[in-house]
Structure 1
Amino acid sequence: MCEIFIRANPQSYDSRTRSVRLHGVVTSIRLENLFWEVLAEIGERDGLGVTQLIEKLYDELVAARGEVGNFASFLRVSALRYLALQLHERIPSDLSVPIRSLDARQVLDRLPESWATPGLRPRPH
Structure 2
Amino acid sequence: MCEIFTRAHPESYESRTRSVRLHGVVTSIRLENLYWEVLDEIGRRDGLSVAQLLERLYDELVRARGEVGNFTSFLRVCALRYMALQVQQRIPNDLAVPLASLDARRVLEHLPESWASPEHVTS
Normalised to the residue count of structure 2, the TM-score between the two structures is 0.97
Q: Which amino acid aligns with 2:59?
A: D
Q: Which amino acid aligns with 2:33?
A: N
* Structure 2 unpaired stretches of 5+: none
Q: How far is the alpha carbon of 1:120 from its aligned partner?
A: 4.4
> Which residue of structure 1 aligns with residue 119 of structure 2?
119
Cα distance in 1, alignment partners of residues 46 and 67 from structure 2: 25
Q: RMSD over aligned Cα, in angstroms?
A: 0.8
CA deviations 1:18-45 (Å, max 9, x no partner) are 0000000000000000000000000000
Cα distance in 1, alignment partners of residues 8 and 2 from structure 2: 10
> Which residue of structure 2 aligns with residue 107 of structure 1?
107
Q: How far is the alpha carbon of 1:77 from its aligned partner?
A: 0.3
Cα distance in 2, alignment partners of residues 118 and 2 from structure 1: 34
CA deviations 1:30-78 (Å, max 9, x no partner) are 0000000000000000000000000000000000000000000000000
> Which residue of structure 2 aligns with residue 70 of structure 1?
70
Identity %: 76
Cα distance in 1, alignment partners of residues 37 and 91 from structure 2: 17
Q: Which amino acid aligns with 1:52?
A: Q
SS at match of 1:27: strand
> Which residue of structure 2 aligns with residue 46 of structure 1?
46
Output aligned runs, 1:1-125, within 5 Å.
1-120=1-120
Cα distance in 2, alignment partners of residues 84 and 116 from structure 1: 13
Q: Which amino acid aligns with 1:92?
A: P
Q: How far is the alpha carbon of 1:119 from its aligned partner?
A: 1.5
Q: Which amino acid aligns with 1:83?
A: M
Q: Which amino acid aligns with 2:112?
A: P
Cα distance in 2, alignment partners of residues 104 and 110 from structure 1: 12
